[in-house]
Homo-oligomer: A and B are copies of this chain.
Amino acid sequence: MKPLSPKLKRFLDFIQRFTLSFDQAPSYEEIMVGLGFDSLGTVNWYVKTLEEEGHLSRIKGPNGKRALTLIHKEHATTTARLPLLGLIAAGEPIEALENPEVVDVPPSLLHPDNYVLQVKGDSMIDEKIHDGDFIVARKTKTARSGQIVVALINGEATLKCYVPKTDCIELHPRNPNFPVIKVNPQDDFHINGVLLYSFRNYLN
C-alpha cells in the first residue's frame, strides 16, 4: 500500500475521530468545516483519492446517503486515538463528557469498541489504579472469569475482578486488604466493559 501524504493522513484521521466520537460518519460539509476547506469539491477529491488507494470505502447504507462514507482500515494513520468518554469514580455512576476528547493510545488498542475513562479519586486503589489514571476498556456485556470489568452495581461504577459462581457473582479486588463483593440476584448489575490497559501521563 502506498504511503500516505501528511494531508491525506490528516483527512483519514479526521474521519476516524469523527466516527469514533459521534458514531456516525461525517457529511462532506462537516468535513469541510472541520478541516478548514472552502469547497466541497476538495472534500470529494480526498474521498475519491483515498478510495482509489484503498483506504476508504463509500459503502452506502441501505436506505440513503447520509451516513455513507466509511473507513476501510483501522490503522492507516500513525496516530492512534480513542475517545475519552468520561470519568469513573467508585460510588457514582460513570459521568459522561459532553464533548468527548480523544487521547493517544498504543496502536494495538485501536478498536471501535474500545474507549477511555479517567479515574477520579483513589477509590480504585485496590485495583492499583490511582486518581487521575486513564483506563482503556472494551465495551462488552459479558466477561470471562478472572477478567477485570467496568461494572455498574445499583448505579455505582467500579472496577473489579469478575468471578462468577454457581449461586451468585463475586467481584474480587486485586488487593487482599479489600473485601470481596457478592452480587445478589436482586441487585441491578451490569458489565460495561473489560479492562484492557491503564496509563498515566507525567509532564502535565
Contacts and interface: CB of A to CB of B under 8 A. Distances in A.
Interface residues of A, number: 38
How many copies, total? Answer: 2
Contact of A128 (B9, B22, B130): B130
A78 B108 CA distance: 9
29 contacts: A2-B61, A3-B25, A4-B24, A5-B63, A5-B65, A5-B66, A6-B22, A23-B78, A78-B80, A78-B107, A79-B107, A79-B108, A80-B80, A80-B106, A104-B107, A104-B108, A105-B106, A106-B106, A128-B200, A147-B202, A148-B202, A195-B202, A195-B203, A196-B201, A196-B203, A198-B199, A198-B200, A198-B202, A199-B200
Interface of A: 2-6, 9, 22-25, 61-63, 65-66, 78-80, 104-109, 128, 130, 147-148, 194-203
